[in-house]
Amino acid sequence: MQKRFSENLDIGDNSLEGTIPGQLGRLSNLRTLYLDKNKFTGRIPSLIGRVTRLEELAISDNSLIGTIPPALGQNIQLRKLLLSENKLEGSIPSSIFKCINLAELNLQKNSLIGEIPSQFGELINLVHRKLYFPCLESYIRSK
């Protein structure tokens, strides 16, 4: 008999510490994953990209570092991607824009740099978007 896992995992707002376990990438039936409002550190595991049925991913309000893993673009069913209020850096990987069902994207309050990718306009379902690029803000103020 095969074990069945829940489609929803919400452990947000629990003051959990440590790194996000890469084993979450083995939960193939997962549709929603809420890890927000904890004290997670380290990097976002690229193995989360293997959860191809994932529709909602919320990892906001932690202390995550590093870049946004390009593997997240493999989650083509993704409708909600919330990565705000971390310490993420680098640019937005173009693979994220393969998530054509994306309706909500929040990347604000990180240290992202670079230009907003041109593929951003291809996200026709995007209703809620919150992006924050300090370098862009300073460029606008200088004009």
Work out the pLDDT band at 42, boundaries 50, 70, 90: very high
Q: Whole-angstrom Cα distance, residue 91 to residue 131?
A: 12
The pTM of the full predicted model, rounded to 2 decimals, is 0.87
Percentage with pLDDT > 90 across the chain? 71
pLDDT digits over 43-89, tens only?
999 999 999 999 999 999 999 999 999 999 999 999 999 999 999 99
Three-class SS state of 45: coil
Residues 6+ apart with CB under 8 A from 110: 83, 84, 85, 86, 87, 88, 89, 132
Tokens encoding 32: 């929603």
Q: What is the mean pLDDT of the chain?
A: 87
Q: If you classify domain 8-142 with CATH, what class do you get?
A: alpha beta
